[in-house]
Structure 1
Amino acid sequence: MQVSSRALVFSSLKYAEADLIVSCFTEKFGLKSYLLRGILKSKRGKLRTSMFQPLSLLQIEAYHKDKGSLERINEAKVILPYKTLHTEVVKTSLLLFLSEILKNSVKEEEANPSLFQFIENSLKWLDINEKIANFHLLFLLKLTNFLGFYPDFSENNAPYFNLMEGNFQQHSLGQFCEEGEAIVALIQLDKCEFKYLSELSIPKSVRLKTLDLLLKYYQLHIQGYKAPKSLPVLTQLFH
């Protein structure tokens, strides 16, 4: 079946000598994997490797068999040329981290337009803003809303956050309860939007603790979760 959709590149993996296997989150069909034959050796083809960098936003024309096998992309074009995301080292490292998180977290093989729009709008904000030190924390928290385990902040005056239950409690009830500066930062993030992110003040030391807290939260709530390989680089850059 010939299809047309916007698509966000989650990952690309070299296959054989000249092929790529590309994982894309498409606006109309959810998560899809494509085999791009000969792309690593082709210099004049319609598809170029530069199109499939982490979180590139593409318009694709593809052929879907919908049998659980690798699909085929016939044509693609970049519809949102980033100004900074693929050229600035800090933002490039951040994109790699986010693409790993999304690849490990988003499993939907069906359309989810609201999730697609959230990722797209977040990337647009990141591309044109410079004060981005807390971006990954806010993105991780907001993403849980689409993944189905956004924390319950209704009792956020309680001192403990239960990672397993995803809520705040008055007493520590086991190994999954956390307290301290990272919990305070989490509450700050809940009240924040990207457009106000530059006004959010989280010290570097607390930022690292908050990231660790959020990744533990992901690990508990996502089956088959894998720690991002890019995490050490991100930690060096932002903390």
Structure 2
Amino acid sequence: MLYHTKGLVLGTIKYSETSIIARIFTQNYGMQSYIVNGVRSQKARGKTALYQPLSLLDLVVYHKPGKDIQRISEARFSLSYQQLPFHPTKRAIGMFLTEVFGKVLRNESPNEELFLFLEQSLILFDNQSEYLNNFHLQLLLKASAFMGFGPANGADLIDQLAEAGYHFNLVTDELALLDQLMHEKMGTHIGLSNALRRDLLDHIIKFYQVHTDSLKEIKSIDVLKTIMSS
């Protein structure tokens, strides 16, 4: 039977000469793997663009509960990004977020509130023209609440890390800045130096690692830090 759902692409792997398996976080079914036949063939020119990282899709899918790999009947963009794939800073942040959520949401059950939050945040980010450099910090902090382990405030985050064995010499206003990142609207200007932004990102990543068992090495973080320091 066919079902309609929206989806957020979080990764693909090649499968046979012309096909792929796409890992998609869906609005209705959580994280799913879909085989997409023939999408890399010459006749299917351009269709691979549908499955680029962070693509937002409208999908018609075959869904059988408990099945490891599902199938897609129809796919189209629910929205075409104007800047995210092309703007250097947005692209670097997008690569980083794709890797993090691809790992963290590996076995995620249906979570419509999280899906809608990610969808709305990415649309906002695509249209955002300034104050880009804190987007990933805000997104990770706010998304943690939808996954059930969000800290109440900056002090709570640091206290939980201390309980897990991580200890920091916090700089002035670091807790207040974490509070701002958590509670201000996405895209709000929050003044951070590059060094402090890196420190806060390290805290947030460690916080995710404490609460999930799938986020270990993050390959894209070096590219992100390079872009952020330029």
Is the structural similarity TM-score above 0.5? yes
Matches of 1:110 and 1:207, distance apart in 2: 31
Shift of 1:12: 0.9
How far has the Cα of 1:100 moved from its partner? 1.1
Distance of aligned partners of 1:66 and 1:42 in 2 relative to their CA distance in 1, 3 Å threshold: farther
SS at match of 1:58: strand
1:141 maps to 2:141: yes
Alpha-carbon distance in 1 for matches of 2:106, 2:35: 18
1:189 to 181, 193, 202: 181
Secondary structure of residue in 1 paired with 2:121 = helix
1:181-237 CA-to-partner distances (Å, cap 9, x unmatched) read 344431231232114x2x210111100101111111111110122332111100111
Q: Does 1:163 align with 2:153?
A: no
Distance in 2 (alpha carbons) for counterparts of 1:10 and 1:74: 19
Higher helix share: 2
98-107 or 179-188, larger mean C-alpha shift: 179-188
Letter in 2 for 1:40: R
> Structure 1 residues 174 and 75, CA, compared in 2 at 3 Å: closer, same or farther?
closer
CA gap 1:44/1:177 in 2 versus in 1, 3 angstroms = closer
- The residue that corresponds to 1:121 in the other structure is 120
| Residue 180 (structure 1) aligns with | 170
Answer whether contact 1:185 1:206 (CA < 8 A) is retained: no
What amino acid is aligned across from residue 186 of structure 2 in structure 1? F
| TM-score of the superposed pair, with normalisation by structure 2 | 0.89
Structure 2: distance between partners of 1:126 and 1:61: 26
The answer on 1:33 being equivalent to 2:33 is yes
1:207 paired to 2:197: yes
Alpha-carbon shift at residue 174 of structure 1 (Å): 7.8
**Structure 1 contact 5–27 (Cα < 8 Å) conserved:** yes
* Cα shift readout 1:11-67 (whole Å, capped 9, x = no counterpart): 11112322211011111111110011221114348x810001111111111112223
Q: Match of 2:69, SS?
A: coil
Find the aligned partners of 2:216 and 2:137 in 1 and give their Cα distance. 18
Corresponding residue for residue 58 of structure 2: 59
Q: Secondary structure at the match of 2:17?
A: coil
Which structure's relative contact order is higher, taking Cα pairs within 8 Å and 6+ residues apart? 2
CA RMSD, Structure 1 to Structure 2 (Å): 2.2
C-alpha contact 2:142 2:150 (8 A) present in aligned 1: yes
- The alignment status of 1:12 with 2:4, answered yes or no, reads no
Q: Hey, what's the Cα distance between the residues in 2 that align with 1:5 and 1:42?
A: 28
Offset of residue 109 of structure 1? 4.9
Q: Residue by residue, what CA displacement relative to the aligned partner does 1:89-115 show, whole Å, maximum 9, x if unpaired?
A: 221221111111111112455422111
| Structure 1 residues not aligned, in runs of 5+ | 166-172
Quickly say closer, same or farther: Cα 1:152–1:40, change in 2 above 3 A. Answer: same
- Partner SS state of residue 208, structure 1: helix
* Alignment correspondent of 1:218: 208
CA distance in 2, matches of 1:118, 1:174: 28
Give the TM-score of the pair, scaled to structure 1.
Answer: 0.86
Q: Match for 1:175: what amino acid?
A: G
Aligned to 1:24: 24
Identity within the alignment, %: 31
